[in-house]
């Protein structure tokens, strides 16, 4: 099964735009079309960003709902230890947490809308793609 790390922006966009590509990526995970990898730092970032006032006003989730959402991710995804430290994204070192999780968990993909990660394109054997490109990768090719 494909193993993938989703950037926090994919989760946030999925919550705010339930009919877009990011939401479709989460739906594909729920349908068990790929294995989701997360790390403690990624879960912390998702919780923190969902609680930002600007985001909270739009998604209208209580702190309890946010904690339940993040807790469910931690329970249902494959959680890496978060022990690996890499220095890959010089422009935004906080993005290294996604590369670290992917390498630590042997992921094939990082799915992101972040330009720093997307510009990198790949790292070791991990492809870094947009939600739309990841959905295309999940769709089997039709026989000719």
Question: Alpha-carbon distance 37 to 139, whole Å?
Answer: 20
Q: Strand pairing of 122-123 and 126-129?
A: antiparallel
Other Cβ atoms within 10 Å of 80 Cβ, number: 22
Per-residue pLDDT tens, the chain, 144 aa: give them. Answer: 999 999 999 999 999 999 999 999 999 999 999 999 999 999 999 999 999 999 988 988 899 999 999 999 999 999 999 888 887 888 888 899 999 999 999 999 999 999 999 999 999 999 999 999 999 999 875 566
Supply the pTM of this predicted model.
0.92
Q: Is the CB of residue 119 less than 8 Å from the CB of residue 95?
A: no
Torsion sign (Cα): 1, 44, 52, 96: negative
Question: Alpha-carbon distance 68 to 89, whole Å?
Answer: 31
Helix/strand/coil (H, E, C) string of 82-128? CCCCCCCCCCCHHHHHHHHHHHHCCCCEEECCCHHHHHHCEECCEEE
pLDDT value of residue 141: 59
CA 14 to chain centre: 10
Domains and CATH numbers, the chain: 3-138 (3.40.50.1010)
């Amino acid at each position: 099964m494909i193993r993938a790390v989703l950037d926090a922006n994919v989760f946030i966009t999925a919550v705010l735009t339930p009919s877009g590509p990011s939401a479709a990526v989460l739906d594909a995970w729920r349908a068990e079309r790929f294995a989701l990898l997360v790390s403690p730092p990624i879960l912390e970032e998702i919780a923190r960003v969902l609680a930002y006032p600007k985001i909270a006003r739009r998604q209208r989730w209580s702190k309890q709902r946010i904690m339940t959402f993040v807790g469910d991710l931690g329970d249902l995804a494959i959680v890496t230890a978060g022990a690996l430290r890499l220095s890959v994204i010089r422009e935004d070192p906080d993005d290294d947490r996604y590369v670290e999780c992917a390498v630590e968990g042997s992921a094939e993909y990082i799915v992101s809308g972040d330009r720093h990660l997307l510009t990198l394109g790949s790292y070791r054997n991990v492809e870094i793609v947009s939600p739309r490109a990841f959905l295309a990768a999940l769709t089997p090719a039709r026989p000719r």
